């Protein structure tokens, strides 16, 4: 079959250079350079924006402000346009001032490659436009890297800003690369039983194209600065994640990162949900990073006026929420965009943590307070790891492709529009968050299907409309070996070719214990009545009815089965073919979904050492383990003061308030937390 998973970028592009060189260099870099690792202290910082007109005194002040705030890292966009002169000469003096200031104040610098582009191109282009442009980029990297590698403040390189374009560029260069790529695709071993298929080659190519260009840029950098750490920041994760192949990227990146700007990237959420949006964004990146470290490369630091999708200024409380959420997801740091505002053009005067007098804003003071706590507890935070819950929310990029391909226009129904697949998964993530549970958020290729025992592990497939054929047997093995599978919505309606597998011999019938009779549109919201357990859950748009084979009915409408339970091997499958995750999200009420999860995912939940005793609407908790200590991060977005009972499995553990930005207090059994407050408890 045609699959990016069967044909990763390093295999399908004959014009790739061998990744072996990069792998060897990656091994060398451990000895060559200090670098972010999974046992480093998390680094907090803010990006310094360098542009013509700035003075040495200004730049020195900005780095001094970071030092005073306890910040240890920055990122700088290395604008070719500000170095490469019209006569072909290079003048690095503007950026030299910044790197010297980094050396003076002990600030690590990520140099972000930014080849020449128009002044109005705020984020930078994502792919080369021509062979000439590709050669120009290579020349730019050669000149820039060979100059700045001399500075001890240089920590690593970011080869491209915010990869991810949403669609293929329309130019001859890309067209030629697509033609080359297509020639080298293996013939698919699965062909939807001979039925006509929709063409997803462009989507598959885009995944490989991103991987190729990112790897090519990394190789260019390592030609002149072998072994230097390389990092990259993805953006608009909830929309663009289907074009990222993170497991392939791990082969040549030192660390993975992301941009998570509420104004740009959180369109699927309202402002009260921004903390949970940051949490989901972070979990996707943590999963993508796998065995390499991750850190959040860009967080919104200040006000946006004309730029961004949603004008806003983060509050100091939101800065604390976002930063602790990132740390609580195992990040090795975060960099705010940005420290100082640019002075002209798009984004002029926006996004900054310093005011126009170069004094710290309340937002920067909030970030500084957290940076100093981390710096004062280096061992605790260096060794802090996410405490796994055993609950895995799985998405498939093919579901996002199919959903987008089949659109005919925006409708009043969220499940029918682009985003329905992701929002369904997010519904479960938010519900689990209100239980105080930190769920994994993984692309299906990132889940480890090689284990022999999955007892205590839960997979949730929420309205993942396409389950590729390569995962049918893997899901069977997961359940057969003791796993719990929870399935809702139109999950597995299609294969990877948008062929409806439910009507031509359902390949998951043995696993699910039945097949779909039909789906019917009901309403924006309707009720799903379960008999075991007795619950009435809000659902969205479609209701499926099931033709049972081995499964047992646990919910009916008239004489039709609408929910089933199937014992398969040593595991179980709960199947409710209505959109429960999205129903809870639209109704703004997860209480019934929480009750269902408490019952159906209890083998995972009962092993979690910290959670809320009862559902806490508008709240979330993250848990880390460091040595013999635990850290719980609790955020209150409910809009009111809360007295929260905790379920702590080990009664010998006692809490200490490590951070509380209001009047929060804690005992062994409960916390008292103010609205918008973030609390961090250390348990020993």
Q: What are 378-413's pLDDT values in tens digits?
A: 999 999 999 999 999 999 999 999 999 999 999 999
pLDDT value at 9 more than 80: no
What angle in degrees, to the nearest 10, is found between the helix axes of 580-587 and 420-434?
A: 70
What CA–CA distances, in Å, run from 149 to 116, 223, 227, 255, 582?
20, 12, 11, 19, 50
Q: Per-residue confidence at 122, pLDDT binned at 50, 70, 90?
A: confident
User: Do the bridges between strand 670-673 and strand 665-666 make them parallel or antiparallel, or are there none, so unpaired?
Assistant: antiparallel
Helix (H, G, I), strand (E, B) or coil at 535: strand
- Residue found by looking up tokens 């402000």 in the block: 65
Tell me the average pLDDT of the chain.
94
pLDDT of residue 270: 97
pLDDT value at 222 more than 90: yes
Rounded mean pLDDT, 266-280 = 98
pLDDT of residue 560: 98
pLDDT value at 29 more than 50: no
What CA–CA distances, in Å, run from 47 to 36, 352, 480, 577, 651?
17, 9, 49, 46, 43
Rounded mean pLDDT, 271-276 = 98
Q: Is 62 exposed, middle or buried (0-12, 13-18, 19+ CB in 10 A)?
A: buried
What CA–CA distances, in Å, run from 623 to 433, 620, 663?
11, 10, 21
Given 3-state DSSP classes, what are the helix, strand and coil percentages for the chain, each rounded to the nearest 5? 35, 25, 40
Q: Are 622 and 633 in contact (CB under 8 A)?
A: yes
Tens-place pLDDT, residues 63-79: 999 999 999 999 999 99
pLDDT of residue 36: 79
pLDDT of residue 33: 66
Q: Are 206 and 200 in contact (CB under 8 A)?
A: no
d(CA 365, CA 343): 23
Q: Per-residue confidence at 34, pLDDT binned at 50, 70, 90?
A: low
Q: Per-residue confidence at 121, pLDDT binned at 50, 70, 90?
A: confident
User: Do the bridges between strand 665-666 and strand 655-660 make them parallel or antiparallel, or are there none, so unpaired?
Assistant: unpaired
All domains of the chain in start order, with CATH: 9-386 (3.20.20.80), 391-605 (3.40.50.880), 615-683 (2.60.40.1180)
**The token pair that represents 377 in the structure block:** 């507890």
**The token pair that represents 305 in the structure block:** 């006026």
pLDDT value at 261 more than 70: yes
Which helix H or strand E contains 73, and what residues bound it? strand 73-79
DSSP character at residue 186: P
**The token pair that represents 239 in the structure block:** 């929309």
Rounded mean pLDDT, 296-300 = 98
pLDDT value at 11 more than 70: no
State residue 119 phi and psi, 5-degree precision. Answer: -60, -30
Q: What percent of the chain has pLDDT over 70?
A: 95
Which helix H or strand E contains 228, and what residues bound it? none
Tens-place pLDDT, residues 185-205: 999 999 999 999 999 999 999
Q: Per-residue confidence at 21, pLDDT binned at 50, 70, 90?
A: very low
Chain Cα centroid distance, residue 12: 26
Tens-place pLDDT, residues 559-591: 999 999 999 999 999 999 999 999 999 999 999
| Residue 422: Cβ within 10 Å count | 24
pLDDT value at 528 more than 80: yes
Tens-place pLDDT, residues 171-188: 999 999 999 999 999 999
The helices-and-strands tally (H runs, E runs) of the chain is 21, 28
pLDDT value at 27 more than 80: no
Which helix H or strand E contains 287, and what residues bound it? helix 274-289
pLDDT of residue 334: 98
Q: Are 393 and 439 in contact (CB under 8 A)?
A: yes
Strand partners, 484: 458, 572
pLDDT of residue 119: 86
Tens-place pLDDT, residues 324-380: 999 999 999 999 999 999 999 899 999 999 999 999 999 999 999 999 999 999 999
pTM: 0.95
> Nearest to residue 596, comparing CAs of 454, 486, 514?
486
Q: Per-residue confidence at 18, pLDDT binned at 50, 70, 90?
A: very low
């Amino acid at each position: 079959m045609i699959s990016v998973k069967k044909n990763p970028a390093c295999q399908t592009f004959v014009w790739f250079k061998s990744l072996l060189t990069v792998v060897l260099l990656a091994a060398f870099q451990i000895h060559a350079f200090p670098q972010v690792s999974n046992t480093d202290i998390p680094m907090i910082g803010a990006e310094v924006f360098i542009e013509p007109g700035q003075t040495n005194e200004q730049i020195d002040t900005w780095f001094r402000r970071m030092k005073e705030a306890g910040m240890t890292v920055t990122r700088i966009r290395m604008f070719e346009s500000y170095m490469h002169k019209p006569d072909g000469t290079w003048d690095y003096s503007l950026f030299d001032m910044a790197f010297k200031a980094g050396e003076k104040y002990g600030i690590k610098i990520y140099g972000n490659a930014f080849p020449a582009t128009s002044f109005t191109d705020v984020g930078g282009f994502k792919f080369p436009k021509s062979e000439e442009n590709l050669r120009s980029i290579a020349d730019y990297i050669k000149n820039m890297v060979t100059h700045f590698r001399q500075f001890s403040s240089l920590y690593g390189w970011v080869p491209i800003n915010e990869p991810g374009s949403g669609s293929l560029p329309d130019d001859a260069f890309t067209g030629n690369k697509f033609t080359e790529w297509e020639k080298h695709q293996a013939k698919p071993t699965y062909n939807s039983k001979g039925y006509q298929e929709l063409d997803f080659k462009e989507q598959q190519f885009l995944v490989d194209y991103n991987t190729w260009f990112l790897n090519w840029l990394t190789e260019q950098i390592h030609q002149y600065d072998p072994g230097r750490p390389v990092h990259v920041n993805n953006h608009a994760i909830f929309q663009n994640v289907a074009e990222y192949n993170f497991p392939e990227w791990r082969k040549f990146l030192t660390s993975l990162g992301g941009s998570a700007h509420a104004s740009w990237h959180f369109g699927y959420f309202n402002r009260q949900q921004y903390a949970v949006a940051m949490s989901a964004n972070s979990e996707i990146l943590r999963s993508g990073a796998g065995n390499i470290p991750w850190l959040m490369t860009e967080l919104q630091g200040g006000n946006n006026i004309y730029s961004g999708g949603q004008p806003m200024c983060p509050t100091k409380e939101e800065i604390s929420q976002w930063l602790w959420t990132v740390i609580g997801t195992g990040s090795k740091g975060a960099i705010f965009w940005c420290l100082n505002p640019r002075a002209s053009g798009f984004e002029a005067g926006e996004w900054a943590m310093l005011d126009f007098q170069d004094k710290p804003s309340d937002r920067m003071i909030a970030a500084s307070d957290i940076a100093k706590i981390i710096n004062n507890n280096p061992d605790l935070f260096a060794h802090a790891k996410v405490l796994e819950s055993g609950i895995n929310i799985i998405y498939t990029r093919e579901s996002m492709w199919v959903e987008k391909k089949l659109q005919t226009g925006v409708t009043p129904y969220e499940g029918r529009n682009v985003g329905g697949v992701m929002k369904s998964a997010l519904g479960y993530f938010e519900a689990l968050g209100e239980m105080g549970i930190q769920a994994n958020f993984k692309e299906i290729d990132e889940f480890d299907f090689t284990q022999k025992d999955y007892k205590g592990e839960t997979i949730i497939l929420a309205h993942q409309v396409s389950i590729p054929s390569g995962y049918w047997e893997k899901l069977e093995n997961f359940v057969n070996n003791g796993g719990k599978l929870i399935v809702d919505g139109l999950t597995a309606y299609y294969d990877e070719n948008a062929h409806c597998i439910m009507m031509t011999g359902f390949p998951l019938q043995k696993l699910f214990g039945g097949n779909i009779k039909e789906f019917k549109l009901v309403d924006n919201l309707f009720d799903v009545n379960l008999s075991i357990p007795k619950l009435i859950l809000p659902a969205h748009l479609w209701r499926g009815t099931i033709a049972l084979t081995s499964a047992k009915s646990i919910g009916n409408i008239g004489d039709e089965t609408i929910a089933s339970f199937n014992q398969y091997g040593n595991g179980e499958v709960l199947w409710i073919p209505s959109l429960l995750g999205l129903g809870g999200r639209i109704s703004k009420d997860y209480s019934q979904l929480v009750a269902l999860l408490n019952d159906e995912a209890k083998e995972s939940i009962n092993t979690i050492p910290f959670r809320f005793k009862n559902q806490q609407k508008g709240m979330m908790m993250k848990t880390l383990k460091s040595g013999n200590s635990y850290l719980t991060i609790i955020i209150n977005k409910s809009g009111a003061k809360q007295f929260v009972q905790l379920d702590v499995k080990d009664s010998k553990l006692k809490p200490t308030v490590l951070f509380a930005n209001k009047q929060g207090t804690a005992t062994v059994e409960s916390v008292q937390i103010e609205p918008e407050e973030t609390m961090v408890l250390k348990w020993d």
